[in-house]
Structure 1
Amino acid sequence: MNFKVSEKYKRSGKRKTVLAALLVAGLIAGSAWMFIASESLYHKIISAITAFLLIKYLPHAYKSIRTHDASYPVVEIIESENKIDISHKGAVVSMPLSDIESLRIQNIKGSVKSILLTTKSFSNLRFEGYENLAEMAELLKKHTPAGKTKIATWYHR
């Protein structure tokens, strides 16, 4: 069964990235204004350092906004072959379902918010924002050792 990230979750993440980039741009503009308007050497140095430290985040934010939709992997759980395939940008990573050590499911208001999967081959895999997340949790529960599934109602670690 294939699991893809929902469009609503992608839009929400992109919106947060755009707002963070706008906040950084506003802070840079404020630093530039402080540099120009201030007569004190101390304030000019502080504003210049602040602007230079914040400018390095803008190219990363631009790249993140531009490639945001392609940055989420597709998860496929193949029960007949007893494996999980995680594909991202043409690369596929396979893991046997028998490598699952523990499973934590975060429920909020009766629906599954996220899944934290601890495996032998990878340390932790977190699935959040996927369509049919409850079905994914049920499939993973089947292959988790007895007593190693926990339901978290607040925040899982």
Structure 2
Amino acid sequence: MKFIISEKYNKQEKRKTIYAAIFVLALIAGFIFMLTNSDVLSNKIIAAIGIFFLAKHLPQAYRSFKNKDTSYPDVEILEPQQKIEISHKGSVVSIALSDIESLRIQSIKGNVKSLLLTTKSFSNLRFEGYENLSEMAEFFKKYTPAEKIKKATWYHR
């Protein structure tokens, strides 16, 4: 079974990035206004520091928006080989299904929103926004000890 990120989730994350960038730009504009219209030196210093600390986040927001399509790995569960393969930009990481220690499933209104998988080799793997996430959860339940499966009532980010 192969799992890829859903297009809806990808668009939602891009939208969040755009809103955050607009908010930062609005704050920078406010600081510029404060810098140019204030006569008090302390206000000018606060505005300059605010501009400096906020402006450094804009290139990161641009890169995040630009690379959002390729920033999520593909997950493939190979049941005959008893492993999970996570591939991203040509790199593949394999995890044995026997290495699964615990599984936390977060559901909202009956829909699975995210999974937190704890393994022996890679401490925590979080899966969110993938198509057929409920099928992935059911599959992981088969390979996780029953006492180590939890349904999260609080978001586990």
TM bucket normalised to smaller: over 0.9
Q: Give the superposition deviation at 1:82.
A: 0.3
Counterpart for residue 17 of structure 2: 17
AA in 1 matched with 2:102: S
Counterpart for residue 3 of structure 2: 3
Deviations 1:14-67 (A, max 9, x none): 000011011111111111111001111111010001001111101111111111
Q: Using the TM superposition, name which of 79-88 and 145-154 deviates more.
A: 145-154
Q: Give the superposition deviation at 1:155.
A: 2.5
Q: Percent identity among equivalent residues?
A: 65
Counterpart for residue 101 of structure 1: 101
Q: Secondary structure at the match of 1:113?
A: strand
Q: Secondary structure at the match of 1:155?
A: coil
TM (norm. structure 2) is: 0.96
Matches within 5 A, 1:8-157: 8-156=8-156
TM (norm. structure 1) is: 0.96
Deviations 1:75-98 (A, max 9, x none): 001000000000111111111000
AA in 2 matched with 1:50: G
CA contact (8 A) 1:108 1:154 kept: no
Q: Counterparts of 2:154 and 2:34 in 1: how far apart (Å)?
A: 43
Q: Give the superposition deviation at 1:153.
A: 3.3
Q: Counterparts of 2:88 and 2:11 in 1: how far apart (Å)?
A: 19
- How many residue pairs were aligned? 157
Q: Give the superposition deviation at 1:156.
A: 3.6
Q: Counterparts of 1:155 and 1:57 in 2: how far apart (Å)?
A: 26
Q: Give the superposition deviation at 1:146.
A: 3.0
Structure 2 portions without partners, runs of 5+: none
CA contact (8 A) 1:116 1:126 kept: yes
